[in-house]
């Protein structure tokens, strides 16, 4: 009898699972497996959540018409995941985690700064996703008359957090298997959801929404970019690193982009139709996206909707907790990978408790996190993408771990470009999600953009400017450094005398 096959490598899917031993080290040839098409599963599974429907309300919040919001959202989703695809190529060329490959640009220990930023972003994302899963569960239970109060929320946090932490601790193989099932279950149940609530769409109301300005279109596009691909880009190579080095680069880019973009684009379309049909529903989505979407369902589908919501959100959270653990190690913390993931899980639980029980308006907190951390991550992305574009050879695996190797200890130019991009970027975004973020936007007035209340105040230009400064600066100033690295002879074997973190 034929055994079920693992989508990663064609070997039997019932082989024993164990805690992944790999941390920051290069994946050996014997452990590399799969084809670029296997990247579809983790990226689709992590982005098939009904939260994608909520981005319809988020986009309308910028004051756009349906067609403007659709264009802005689609461009933001596809372009941001295309950037993830490019970074994924680095994974198969170096077979190491994203924030280790970043050392080629920043230096082995100079890379600690972007690693810390990456860690903060991934912990923030996993916290937000677990909080959403908890709120969704409470809403469904309340609708069914099964509770929904504090006790329900406490149990929900415990269950979804436990599932997330277990997957993060176990590592790559369990995560990939889970994402395959989330893709299949989530895809089917989401289609059923769309069919059940399609009657709520009022095209006449949607089409009558007035158009917005160019600044509002840019703001919505950048917001969607930071919410999707730019929220994942610092982890993009963590899954492609297991592919054989001979894998097609075009295939890696294509399957990453396709897997990440497919569900969000389709969900965005229907989310826009729903949110645009009802001002009250759009407002409710802003406060509790999943809960508001559940409120319009027939009672009999509430439990399946809770399942698809929680699984979709957990699918994103497990990718985040896995990558946040790797980022923590690359920042210099010397513990096994599974302990780093467990520690991040504790922080995730604490943050989720704050959001669920004390934070109030979810959307404002969400926008605040995305905008503030999106700027330095955009700057890092610019450096990483330009550095990758300049390279003609695969990474020297051994020197990624040696401060005295070809990549050096601290590379000042990329660090300066990252700090410069971040400083300029924060000056071109506004953030009123919390009192401690209102200092941003300090360049809007000097640059003649109308200040913090002008037409460019919520265009989030800072994200694009930070990416452009770092990308163009690296292309102009990094070429000779990369060429010098690539003319050197191969280093000793990777595991000889390496810098352990």
> Distances from the Cα of 304 to the Cαs of 42, 192, 276, 301, 347, in angstroms?
21, 10, 25, 5, 29
Confidence at residue 4, expressed as pLDDT on a 0 to 100 scale: 37
Residue 124 pLDDT grade (very low, low, confident, very high; cuts 50, 70, 90): confident
Does residue 97 surpass a pLDDT of 90? yes
Confidence at residue 6, expressed as pLDDT on a 0 to 100 scale: 43
**Cα–Cα distance for residue pair 317/17, rounded to 1 Å:** 20
Question: How high does pLDDT run on average in the chain?
Answer: 87
Residue 12 pLDDT grade (very low, low, confident, very high; cuts 50, 70, 90): very low
C-alpha torsion sign, points 174, 178, 181, 184: negative
Confidence at residue 379, expressed as pLDDT on a 0 to 100 scale: 97
**Cα–Cα distance for residue pair 111/56, rounded to 1 Å:** 36
CA-nearest of 471, 435, 432, 466 to 226 is 466
HSE of 371, CA atoms in CB hemisphere, 13 A: 29
**Cα–Cα distance for residue pair 25/21, rounded to 1 Å:** 10
What pTM was computed for the model? Answer: 0.88
pLDDT digit string, tens, across residues 353-391: 888 887 766 656 666 776 788 899 999 999 999 999 999
Confidence at residue 385, expressed as pLDDT on a 0 to 100 scale: 97
pLDDT digit string, tens, across residues 128-145: 888 888 888 887 888 787
**Cα–Cα distance for residue pair 399/103, rounded to 1 Å:** 9
User: Tokens 């099932």 label which residue?
Assistant: 181
**Cα–Cα distance for residue pair 406/399, rounded to 1 Å:** 6
**Cα–Cα distance for residue pair 178/497, rounded to 1 Å:** 36
Give the mean model confidence (pLDDT) for residues 97-108.
Answer: 95
Residues in the chain: 501
Confidence at residue 291, expressed as pLDDT on a 0 to 100 scale: 74
Cα–chain center distance at 323: 10
The single-letter DSSP state of residue 241 is T
**Cα–Cα distance for residue pair 258/260, rounded to 1 Å:** 6
Beta carbons within 10 angstroms of residue 115's beta carbon: 28
The single-letter DSSP state of residue 398 is G
pLDDT digit string, tens, across residues 152-176: 888 889 988 998 999 888 887 888 8
Q: Which residues contact 218 (CB under 8 A, 6 or more apart)?
A: 72, 459, 460, 461, 464
- ∠ CA(351), CA(354), CA(357), 5° rounding? 145
Confidence at residue 362, expressed as pLDDT on a 0 to 100 scale: 62
Q: Which residues pair with residue 5 across a beta bridge?
A: 12
DSSP string, 463-474: HHHHHHHHHHHH
Residue 15 pLDDT grade (very low, low, confident, very high; cuts 50, 70, 90): low
C-alpha torsion sign, points 28, 31, 37, 41: negative
CA-nearest of 353, 329, 399, 334 to 161 is 353
Please check whether residue 6 is in contact with residue 170, taking contact to mean a CB–CB distance below 8 angstroms: no
User: Tokens 């913390």 label which residue?
Assistant: 333
pLDDT greater at residue 262 or residue 496: 262
Give the mean model confidence (pLDDT) for residues 306-332.
Answer: 87
CA-nearest of 114, 86, 89, 82 to 100 is 114
Please check whether residue 449 is in contact with residue 456, taking contact to mean a CB–CB distance below 8 angstroms: yes
Confidence at residue 222, expressed as pLDDT on a 0 to 100 scale: 92
pLDDT digit string, tens, across residues 257-297: 999 999 999 999 999 999 999 988 888 887 677 778 887 88
For helices 479-486 and 461-477, angle between their N-to-C axes, nearest 10 degrees:
50
pLDDT digit string, tens, across residues 451-484: 998 889 888 899 999 999 999 999 999 999 999 9
Does residue 212 surpass a pLDDT of 80? yes
Give the mean model confidence (pLDDT) for residues 426-437.
Answer: 82
Give the mean model confidence (pLDDT) for residues 20-28.
Answer: 83
Residue 433 pLDDT grade (very low, low, confident, very high; cuts 50, 70, 90): low
Confidence at residue 363, expressed as pLDDT on a 0 to 100 scale: 54
Torsion angle (degrees, nearest 10) of CA 123, 269, 193, 191: -100
Q: Could you give the domains of the chain? A: 29-364 (1.10.4160.10)
Confidence at residue 367, expressed as pLDDT on a 0 to 100 scale: 63
């Amino acid at each position: 009898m034929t055994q079920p096959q693992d989508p990663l490598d064609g070997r039997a899917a019932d082989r024993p699972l164990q805690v992944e031993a790999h941390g920051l080290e290069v994946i050996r040839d014997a452990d590399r497996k799969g084809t670029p098409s296997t990247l579809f599963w983790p990226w689709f599974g992590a982005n098939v959540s009904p939260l994608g429907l909520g981005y319809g309300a988020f986009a309308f919040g910028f004051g756009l018409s349906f067609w403007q919001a659709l264009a802005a959202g689609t461009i933001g989703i596809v372009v941001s995941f295309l950037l993830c695809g490019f970074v994924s190529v680095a994974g198969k060329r170096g077979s190491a985690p994203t924030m280790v490959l970043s050392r080629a640009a920043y230096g082995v220990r100079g890379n600690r700064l972007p690693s810390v930023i990456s860690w903060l972003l991934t912990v923030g994302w996993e916290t937000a996703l677990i909080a959403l899963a908890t709120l969704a569960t409470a809403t469904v239970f309340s609708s069914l008359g099964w509770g929904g109060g504090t006790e329900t929320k406490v149990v929900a946090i415990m269950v979804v957090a436990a599932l997330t932490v277990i997957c993060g601790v176990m590592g790559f193989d369990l995560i990939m298997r889970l994402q395959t099932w989330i893709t299949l279950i989530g895809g089917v149940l989401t289609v059923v959801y769309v069919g059940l609530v399609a009657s709520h769409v009022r095209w006449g109301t949607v089409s009558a929404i007035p158009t917005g300005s160019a600044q509002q279109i840019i703001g919505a596009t950048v917001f969607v970019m930071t919410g999707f691909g730019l929220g994942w880009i610092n982890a993009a190579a963590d899954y492609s690193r297991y592919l054989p080095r001979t894998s097609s680069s075009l295939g890696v880019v294509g399957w990453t982009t396709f897997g990440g973009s497919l569900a969000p684009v389709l969900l965005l379309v229907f989310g826009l139709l729903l949110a645009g049909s009802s001002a009250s529903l759009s407002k409710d989505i802003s406060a509790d996206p999943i809960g508001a979407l559940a409120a319009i369902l027939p009672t009999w589908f509430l439990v399946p909707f809770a399942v698809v919501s929680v699984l979709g959100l957990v699918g994103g959270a497990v990718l985040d907790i896995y990558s946040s653990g790797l980022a923590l190690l690359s920042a210099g913390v010397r513990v096994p990978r599974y302990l780093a993931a467990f520690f991040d899980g504790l922080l995730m639980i604490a943050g989720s408790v704050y959001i669920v029980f004390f934070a109030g308006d979810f959307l404002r907190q969400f926008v605040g996190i995305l905008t503030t951390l999106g700027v330095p991550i955009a700057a890092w992305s610019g450096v990483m993408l330009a550095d990758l574009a300049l390279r003609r050879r695969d990474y020297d695996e051994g020197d990624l771990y040696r401060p005295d190797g070809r990549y050096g200890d601290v590379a000042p130019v990329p660090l300066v470009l990252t700090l410069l991009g971040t400083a300029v970027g924060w000056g071109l975004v506004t953030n009123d999600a919390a009192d401690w973020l209102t200092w941003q936007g300090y360049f809007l007035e000097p640059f003649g953009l109308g200040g913090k209340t002008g037409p460019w105040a919520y265009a989030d230009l800072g994200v694009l400017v930070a990416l452009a400064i770092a990308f163009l600066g690296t292309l102009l100033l990094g070429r000779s450094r990369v060429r010098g690295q690539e003319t050197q002879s191969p280093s000793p074997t990777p595991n000889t005398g390496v810098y352990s973190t």
